[in-house]
Amino acid sequence: MYVPPAFRQTDLPALHREIGNCRVATLVSHGQNGLQASHLPLLLRPDEGRYGTLYGHLARANPHWQVLAEGTEALVMFNGPDAYVSPSWYPAKAEHGKVVPTWNYIAVHAYGRAEVFDDAERLRSLLAGLTERHEGPRPQPWAMDDAPQDYIAGMLRAVVGFALPIERLEGKWKLGQNRSEADRRGVHDGLANSTEPRDRDLAQRMNG
């Protein structure tokens, strides 16, 4: 990922928060048959390894897990809020007109080599963690124990888990840091007044 110095984010807790905010990540690997990409929810264990370790699972029928098992480097992309930026929001437009549209966004890229596993107990622990993450806030959260255990056992046999210790972590916060303070305020106000929730989300992040 191309990251100009003005947009580079290196604060590990901030990078981990962004990973946690992303509900579905994109896993990309290159194997003997070329590129493979999968979209999936992941768990981050921030205290495992220098940059943390990512855990996830793939359908056994998905050949991507076999690519992971080859031990080549994988890339995991976490996309945060993003928004179109209109030149009309820049005060500089009225001053000299030398402005063009752009796109602001937040993204985190994690790199590492995965270990795949299909141990039933380890898979169950992983899936229980993913379930708790997404069911926990619900008024009546579903739990794996709510389903028949033979059914769960069959589902576990249908997936393969992986652990990916993060070896390299990149963050890009493209929020107009290369613009004047007046232009940044103009963009913030334009996004904050948008009817699009994602625009307003990015405006809030500009305050951070």
Which domains can be identified in the chain, with CATH numbers?
A: 5-195 (2.30.110.10)
By the 8 A CB rule, do 106 and 80 touch? yes
Long-range contacts of 19-26 (CB under 8 A, 24+ apart): 19/44, 19/52, 19/54, 19/78, 19/108, 19/110, 20/44, 21/80, 22/78, 22/79, 22/80, 22/108, 23/134, 25/54, 25/56, 25/76, 25/77, 25/78, 26/76, 26/77, 26/79
Query: Which value, to the nearest 10 degrees, does the dihedral of the CA atoms of residues 82, 129, 158, 113 take?
Result: 60
- Using DSSP, state whether 36 is helix, strand or coil: strand
Residue of 65, 31, 88 whose CA lies nearest to 164 = 65
Q: Backbone phi, then psi, for 25, in 5-degree steps?
A: -100, 170
pLDDT of the residue at 33? 84
| Partner residues linked to 169 by β-bridges | 110
Whose tokens are 């989300």? That residue is 201
- ∠ at Cα 161 (78, 73), nearest 5°? 55
Tokens standing for residue 130: 């993913």
Q: pLDDT (tens digit, 0 to 9) for every residue of the chain, 208 residues total?
A: 999 999 999 999 999 999 999 999 999 999 888 999 999 999 999 999 999 999 999 999 999 999 999 999 999 999 999 999 999 999 866 678 777 999 999 999 999 999 999 999 999 999 999 999 999 999 999 989 999 999 999 999 999 999 999 999 999 999 999 999 999 999 999 999 999 999 999 999 998 6
Tokens standing for residue 96: 């000299």
By the 8 A CB rule, do 12 and 51 touch? yes
In whole angstroms, what is the distance from residue 46 CA to residue 58 CA?
A: 21
pLDDT of the residue at 98? 77
pTM of this structure: 0.93
pLDDT of the residue at 94? 66
pLDDT of the residue at 190? 96
Look up residue 20 and give its amino acid.
G
